[in-house]
């Protein structure tokens, strides 16, 4: 049965980037030239893509982040605003440089990303309007601005509000800081492996992450589904079978959908099913944000596995 559509209020904090994507027949190896069949430009970045996905699904979304007061920063801010994301605290700092990504996608949907994370962006999160959490249901952050994420998660914890961490590849010290304030730490496969370096398998990696203080540790495994561990034990869900066209942003979209579902107070397993469905449908369409389905389309895929 389709879950009644809620309107959760979500705050996403972290990276926003401007993506330039080239479509090629096969990912290049070594030097030389490769001809692209198409090229696209648009907003990207983990937390910004999650914000865009949650807004597309129907949430009321605020994005808190940093970029340079340059052409890329202004373009990213205007694109998020056009998607219905509230951006008054997406600050553009004079003298700083915005994050830019070059993405190459092949005909199987696999991609290679080269990212410049920006420069001279102030780390101090004192300007964040943490009182606004009184009007939120869930918060999400990526590890690219750890000072901001720590401030957001600490304030959310004080209010008993669910916190979602996008566990992409980052220094272990950053995860050590963030996990004690994280409810739902959802890692990419390389992010988790890079953190739990002494673990022999995924279950041991999850156990290690859980031991560092989060309340639930999960990992997205692409075609192999999702696994997670919490106080009740180990759990798993299979992936939805789809024909991938472009996997760019799939993890970001998953996290945005998860923040949506948790903000709507869904049970964990149902929230993961929904997030996996949203990410799977996105992979069948070109582009990161452009491929995000609406709520009804995502729920139709979730409900199909119940029939």
Domains of the chain listed by start with CATH number? 9-28+36-117+135-304 (3.40.1190.20)
- 8 A C-beta contact, residue 90 and residue 69: no
pLDDT given at position 105: 87
Q: Contact at 8 Å (CB) between 15 and 48? A: yes
pLDDT at 289 over 90: no
Q: What is the pLDDT of residue 133?
A: 97
Both tokens of 284, joined, read 């069948």
How much is the pTM?
0.92
Ramachandran category for residue 15: left, alpha or beta (phi over 0 → left; psi -120 to 50 → alpha): beta
Q: What secondary structure letter does DSSP report for 109?
A: S
Q: How much is the average pLDDT of 222-226?
A: 94
- Write the pLDDT tens digit of every residue in 100-137: 989 898 888 788 989 898 999 999 999 999 999 999 99
What are the tens digits of pLDDT across the range 130-164? Answer: 999 999 999 999 999 999 999 999 999 999 999 99
Token code pair at residue 179: 């996990």
Cα distance between residue 300 and residue 248, in whole Å: 23
Question: What is residue 1's predicted lDDT score, i.e. its pLDDT?
Answer: 45
User: Considering the chain, what percentage of its residues have pLDDT values greater than 90?
Assistant: 82
Question: If you average pLDDT over residues 250-270, what whole number do you get?
Answer: 97
* Tens-place pLDDT, residues 2-12: 445 568 999 99
Q: Does 35 have pLDDT greater than 50?
A: yes
How much is the pLDDT for 49? Answer: 96
Q: Across all residues in the chain, what is the average pLDDT?
A: 94
CB distance 221 to 188 below 8 Å? no
- Mean pLDDT (whole number) for 284-294: 87
Q: In what order do the strands lie in the sheet with 38-44?
A: 38-44, 17-23, 99-105, 111-116
| pLDDT for res 32 | 87
pLDDT level of residue 259 (50, 70, 90 thresholds): very high
The pLDDT of residue 186 is above 50: yes
pLDDT value of residue 307: 46
């Amino acid at each position: 049965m389709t879950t009644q559509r809620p309107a959760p209020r979500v705050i996403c904090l972290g990276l926003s980037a401007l993506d330039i994507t080239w479509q090629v027949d096969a990912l290049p190896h070594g030097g030389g030239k490769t001809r692209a069949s198409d090229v696209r430009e648009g907003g990207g970045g983990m937390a910004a893509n999650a914000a865009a996905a949650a807004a597309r699904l129907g949430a009321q979304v605020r994005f808190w982040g940093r970029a340079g007061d340059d052409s890329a920063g202004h373009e990213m801010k205007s694109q998020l605003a056009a998607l219905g994301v509230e951006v008054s605290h997406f600050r553009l700092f004079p003298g700083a440089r915005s994050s830019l990504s070059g993405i190459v996608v092949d005909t199987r949907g696999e991609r290679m990303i080269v990212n410049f994370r920006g420069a001279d962006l102030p780390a101090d999160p004192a300007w964040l309007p943490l009182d606004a959490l009184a009007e939120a249901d869930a918060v999400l952050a990526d590890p690219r601005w750890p000072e901001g994420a720590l401030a957001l998660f600490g304030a959310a914890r004080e209010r008993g509000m669910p916190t979602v961490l996008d566990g992409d590849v980052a220094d272990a010290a950053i995860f050590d800081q963030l996990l004690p304030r994280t409810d739902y730490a959802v890692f990419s496969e390389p992010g988790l492996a890079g953190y739990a370096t002494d673990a022999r398998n995924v279950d041991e990696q999850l156990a290690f992450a859980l031991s560092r203080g989060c309340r639930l540790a999960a990992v997205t495994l692409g075609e192999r589904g999702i696994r997670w561990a919490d106080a009740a034990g180990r759990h798993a869900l299979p992936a939805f079978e789809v024909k991938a066209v472009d996997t760019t942003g799939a993890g970001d979209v998953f996290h945005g959908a998860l923040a949506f579902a948790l903000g709507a107070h869904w049970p964990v397993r149902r929230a993961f099913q929904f997030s996996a469905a949203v990410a799977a449908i996105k992979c069948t369409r070109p582009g990161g944000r452009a491929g995000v389905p609406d709520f009804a389309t995502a729920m139709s895929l979730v409900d199909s596995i119940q029939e």
